[in-house]
Protein backbone atom coordinates (compact mmCIF):
# COMPACT_ATOMS: atom_id res chain seq x y z
CA UNK A 1 0.00 0.00 0.00
CA UNK A 2 1.17 3.50 -0.87
CA UNK A 3 -0.22 6.22 1.40
CA UNK A 4 -0.83 9.40 -0.59
CA UNK A 5 -2.71 12.60 0.21
CA UNK A 6 -4.32 14.31 -2.79
CA UNK A 7 -6.30 17.49 -2.12
CA UNK A 8 -9.36 17.39 -4.35
CA UNK A 9 -11.62 19.93 -2.62
CA UNK A 10 -10.16 23.16 -4.00
CA UNK A 11 -12.63 25.10 -6.16
CA UNK A 12 -9.83 26.05 -8.57
CA UNK A 13 -10.01 23.56 -11.44
CA UNK A 14 -6.35 24.05 -12.37
CA UNK A 15 -5.37 23.18 -8.78
CA UNK A 16 -7.49 20.02 -8.89
CA UNK A 17 -6.02 19.01 -12.25
CA UNK A 18 -2.53 19.24 -10.74
CA UNK A 19 -3.65 17.07 -7.82
CA UNK A 20 -5.01 14.48 -10.28
CA UNK A 21 -1.64 14.41 -12.04
CA UNK A 22 0.08 13.96 -8.66
CA UNK A 23 -2.21 11.05 -7.88
CA UNK A 24 -1.39 9.45 -11.22
CA UNK A 25 2.35 9.75 -10.47
CA UNK A 26 1.72 8.11 -7.11
CA UNK A 27 -0.15 5.32 -8.91
CA UNK A 28 2.92 4.89 -11.14
CA UNK A 29 5.12 4.72 -8.03
CA UNK A 30 2.82 2.12 -6.50
CA UNK A 31 3.00 0.05 -9.68
CA UNK A 32 6.80 0.31 -9.87
CA UNK A 33 7.15 -0.82 -6.25
CA UNK A 34 4.79 -3.76 -6.70
CA UNK A 35 2.03 -2.36 -4.48
CA UNK A 36 -1.56 -3.36 -5.16
CA UNK A 37 -3.27 -0.41 -3.45
CA UNK A 38 -2.78 3.36 -3.47
CA UNK A 39 -4.53 5.69 -1.06
CA UNK A 40 -6.63 8.66 -2.07
CA UNK A 41 -8.23 11.25 0.20
CA UNK A 42 -10.99 13.77 -0.31
CA UNK A 43 -9.03 16.93 0.45
CA UNK A 44 -9.19 19.73 2.96
CA UNK A 45 -12.32 20.80 4.80
CA UNK A 46 -12.30 24.34 3.46
CA UNK A 47 -14.83 26.52 5.31
CA UNK A 48 -16.46 27.84 2.12
CA UNK A 49 -17.46 24.36 0.93
CA UNK A 50 -20.86 22.79 1.45
CA UNK A 51 -20.95 19.04 1.98
CA UNK A 52 -22.58 18.40 -1.40
CA UNK A 53 -20.05 20.55 -3.26
CA UNK A 54 -17.07 18.97 -1.51
CA UNK A 55 -18.32 15.44 -2.13
CA UNK A 56 -18.86 16.21 -5.82
CA UNK A 57 -15.40 17.76 -6.25
CA UNK A 58 -13.66 14.85 -4.54
CA UNK A 59 -15.72 12.15 -6.26
CA UNK A 60 -15.19 13.67 -9.72
CA UNK A 61 -11.41 13.79 -9.21
CA UNK A 62 -11.22 10.24 -7.89
CA UNK A 63 -13.29 8.99 -10.82
CA UNK A 64 -10.84 10.65 -13.21
CA UNK A 65 -7.99 8.70 -11.59
CA UNK A 66 -9.68 5.30 -11.59
CA UNK A 67 -9.19 4.29 -15.26
CA UNK A 68 -5.47 5.10 -14.91
CA UNK A 69 -5.29 2.97 -11.76
CA UNK A 70 -7.20 0.10 -13.36
CA UNK A 71 -4.80 -0.02 -16.30
CA UNK A 72 -2.01 -0.69 -13.77
CA UNK A 73 -4.05 -3.09 -11.64
CA UNK A 74 -3.94 -0.67 -8.69
CA UNK A 75 -6.95 -0.30 -6.40
CA UNK A 76 -7.55 3.20 -5.07
CA UNK A 77 -8.49 3.18 -1.40
CA UNK A 78 -10.02 6.07 0.51
CA UNK A 79 -9.18 6.29 4.19
CA UNK A 80 -11.26 7.76 7.00
CA UNK A 81 -8.34 10.07 7.58
CA UNK A 82 -7.73 12.94 10.01
CA UNK A 83 -5.36 15.45 8.40
CA UNK A 84 -2.29 15.49 6.21
CA UNK A 85 0.68 17.16 7.93
CA UNK A 86 1.00 19.76 5.17
CA UNK A 87 -2.66 20.79 5.14
CA UNK A 88 -4.18 23.84 6.79
CA UNK A 89 -7.54 22.19 7.46
CA UNK A 90 -8.54 18.66 8.53
CA UNK A 91 -9.84 16.04 6.11
CA UNK A 92 -13.06 17.07 4.37
CA UNK A 93 -14.54 13.57 4.80
CA UNK A 94 -13.36 13.12 8.38
CA UNK A 95 -16.88 12.85 9.80
CA UNK A 96 -18.75 9.59 9.32
CA UNK A 97 -21.74 10.98 7.44
CA UNK A 98 -19.57 12.80 4.90
CA UNK A 99 -17.20 9.86 4.48
CA UNK A 100 -20.09 7.47 3.82
CA UNK A 101 -21.69 9.89 1.37
CA UNK A 102 -18.46 10.11 -0.60
CA UNK A 103 -17.91 6.35 -0.58
CA UNK A 104 -21.50 5.76 -1.69
CA UNK A 105 -21.03 8.13 -4.63
CA UNK A 106 -18.23 6.05 -6.19
CA UNK A 107 -18.77 2.50 -7.44
CA UNK A 108 -15.89 0.98 -9.36
CA UNK A 109 -14.14 -2.42 -9.17
CA UNK A 110 -10.82 -0.67 -8.46
CA UNK A 111 -12.10 1.50 -5.61
CA UNK A 112 -12.59 0.68 -1.93
CA UNK A 113 -12.09 1.76 1.67
CA UNK A 114 -8.96 1.69 3.81
CA UNK A 115 -10.38 1.47 7.33
CA UNK A 116 -8.47 3.06 10.22
CA UNK A 117 -10.30 2.56 13.53
CA UNK A 118 -8.14 5.03 15.46
CA UNK A 119 -8.94 7.96 13.19
CA UNK A 120 -12.60 7.62 14.09
CA UNK A 121 -11.82 8.68 17.66
CA UNK A 122 -10.23 11.84 16.30
CA UNK A 123 -13.58 12.60 14.68
CA UNK A 124 -15.30 12.10 18.05
CA UNK A 125 -17.15 9.05 16.71
CA UNK A 126 -17.43 5.28 17.23
CA UNK A 127 -15.08 3.15 15.06
CA UNK A 128 -17.39 0.12 15.16
CA UNK A 129 -20.37 2.19 14.03
CA UNK A 130 -18.37 3.46 11.07
CA UNK A 131 -17.09 -0.01 10.23
CA UNK A 132 -20.59 -1.46 10.12
CA UNK A 133 -21.60 1.25 7.65
CA UNK A 134 -18.70 0.61 5.25
CA UNK A 135 -17.49 -2.94 5.99
CA UNK A 136 -18.77 -4.23 2.63
CA UNK A 137 -16.48 -1.70 0.92
CA UNK A 138 -13.34 -2.26 3.03
CA UNK A 139 -10.44 -3.75 1.05
CA UNK A 140 -7.50 -2.79 3.31
CA UNK A 141 -7.04 -1.77 6.94
CA UNK A 142 -4.62 0.26 9.02
CA UNK A 143 -4.12 -1.61 12.27
CA UNK A 144 -3.34 0.99 14.89
CA UNK A 145 -4.26 1.80 18.44
CA UNK A 146 -4.49 4.93 20.52
CA UNK A 147 -4.87 5.60 24.18
CA UNK A 148 -6.00 8.60 26.19
CA UNK A 149 -3.14 10.42 27.89
CA UNK A 150 -5.63 12.33 30.01
CA UNK A 151 -9.36 12.80 30.46
CA UNK A 152 -12.16 10.76 28.91
CA UNK A 153 -13.64 10.14 25.48
CA UNK A 154 -16.28 12.76 26.25
CA UNK A 155 -13.49 15.26 26.90
CA UNK A 156 -11.97 14.32 23.56
CA UNK A 157 -15.27 14.91 21.76
CA UNK A 158 -15.47 18.38 23.28
CA UNK A 159 -11.91 19.27 22.36
CA UNK A 160 -11.82 21.96 19.69
CA UNK A 161 -8.09 22.52 19.21
CA UNK A 162 -7.28 19.72 16.80
CA UNK A 163 -7.39 21.59 13.48
CA UNK A 164 -3.63 22.16 13.26
CA UNK A 165 -2.55 18.73 14.48
CA UNK A 166 -3.56 15.55 16.25
CA UNK A 167 -5.64 15.87 19.41
CA UNK A 168 -3.37 16.35 22.41
CA UNK A 169 -5.33 13.88 24.56
CA UNK A 170 -4.62 10.95 22.22
CA UNK A 171 -1.36 9.14 21.56
CA UNK A 172 -0.32 6.23 19.36
CA UNK A 173 0.31 3.09 21.39
CA UNK A 174 0.94 -0.63 21.28
CA UNK A 175 -1.75 -2.43 19.29
CA UNK A 176 -4.10 -4.32 21.57
CA UNK A 177 -3.41 -2.05 24.55
CA UNK A 178 -5.47 0.96 23.50
CA UNK A 179 -9.06 1.97 22.80
CA UNK A 180 -9.77 -0.26 19.79
CA UNK A 181 -11.79 -3.47 20.17
CA UNK A 182 -10.07 -5.80 17.72
CA UNK A 183 -12.44 -8.67 18.41
CA UNK A 184 -15.37 -6.49 17.32
CA UNK A 185 -13.41 -5.16 14.33
CA UNK A 186 -12.24 -8.54 13.06
CA UNK A 187 -15.63 -10.16 13.69
CA UNK A 188 -17.28 -7.61 11.42
CA UNK A 189 -14.60 -7.86 8.75
CA UNK A 190 -14.84 -11.66 8.75
CA UNK A 191 -18.64 -11.44 8.53
CA UNK A 192 -18.42 -9.58 5.22
CA UNK A 193 -15.69 -11.83 3.79
CA UNK A 194 -12.75 -9.44 4.10
CA UNK A 195 -9.46 -11.00 2.93
CA UNK A 196 -7.28 -7.97 2.23
CA UNK A 197 -4.11 -6.47 3.61
CA UNK A 198 -3.84 -5.34 7.24
CA UNK A 199 -0.92 -2.95 7.63
CA UNK A 200 0.55 -1.93 10.97
CA UNK A 201 0.85 1.65 12.20
CA UNK A 202 3.05 1.37 15.27
CA UNK A 203 6.61 1.36 16.50
CA UNK A 204 6.59 4.91 17.84
CA UNK A 205 8.44 3.69 20.92
CA UNK A 206 10.82 1.36 19.11
CA UNK A 207 11.07 -2.06 17.49
CA UNK A 208 10.21 -3.97 20.66
CA UNK A 209 6.83 -2.29 20.73
CA UNK A 210 6.33 -3.04 17.04
CA UNK A 211 7.22 -6.70 17.62
CA UNK A 212 4.57 -6.98 20.36
CA UNK A 213 1.98 -5.37 18.08
CA UNK A 214 2.83 -7.82 15.30
CA UNK A 215 2.47 -10.76 17.69
CA UNK A 216 -0.92 -9.48 18.90
CA UNK A 217 -2.25 -9.04 15.38
CA UNK A 218 -0.96 -12.37 14.10
CA UNK A 219 -2.66 -14.15 17.00
CA UNK A 220 -5.95 -12.35 16.35
CA UNK A 221 -5.76 -12.92 12.60
CA UNK A 222 -5.06 -16.63 13.10
CA UNK A 223 -8.18 -16.83 15.27
CA UNK A 224 -10.49 -15.09 12.80
CA UNK A 225 -8.85 -16.30 9.57
CA UNK A 226 -7.34 -19.70 10.49
Q: Residue 197 has what pLDDT?
A: 96
Considering Cα of 186, then 155, then 48, then 51, what sign does the dihedral take?
positive
pTM of the model: 0.91
Gap between the terminal Cα atoms of the chain: 23
Residue of 207, 79, 92 lying closest to 143 (CA atoms): 79
d(CA 144, CA 104): 25
Confidence of residue 156 (pLDDT cuts 50, 70, 90): low
- Mean pLDDT across 87-115: 97
Residue of 83, 80, 65 lying closest to 25 (CA atoms): 65
Q: Residue 124 has what pLDDT?
A: 86
d(CA 157, CA 176): 22
d(CA 196, CA 215): 18
210-224: pLDDT as tens digits: 999 999 999 999 999
- Mean pLDDT across 105-130: 95
Amino acid sequence: MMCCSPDFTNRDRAFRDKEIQKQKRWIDMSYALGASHCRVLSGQKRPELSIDEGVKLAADCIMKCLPYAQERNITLIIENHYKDDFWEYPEFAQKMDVFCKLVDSIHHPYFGVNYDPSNTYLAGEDPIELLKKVSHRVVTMHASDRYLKEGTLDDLRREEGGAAGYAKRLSHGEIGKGLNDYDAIFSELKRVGFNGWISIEDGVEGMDQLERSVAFLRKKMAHYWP
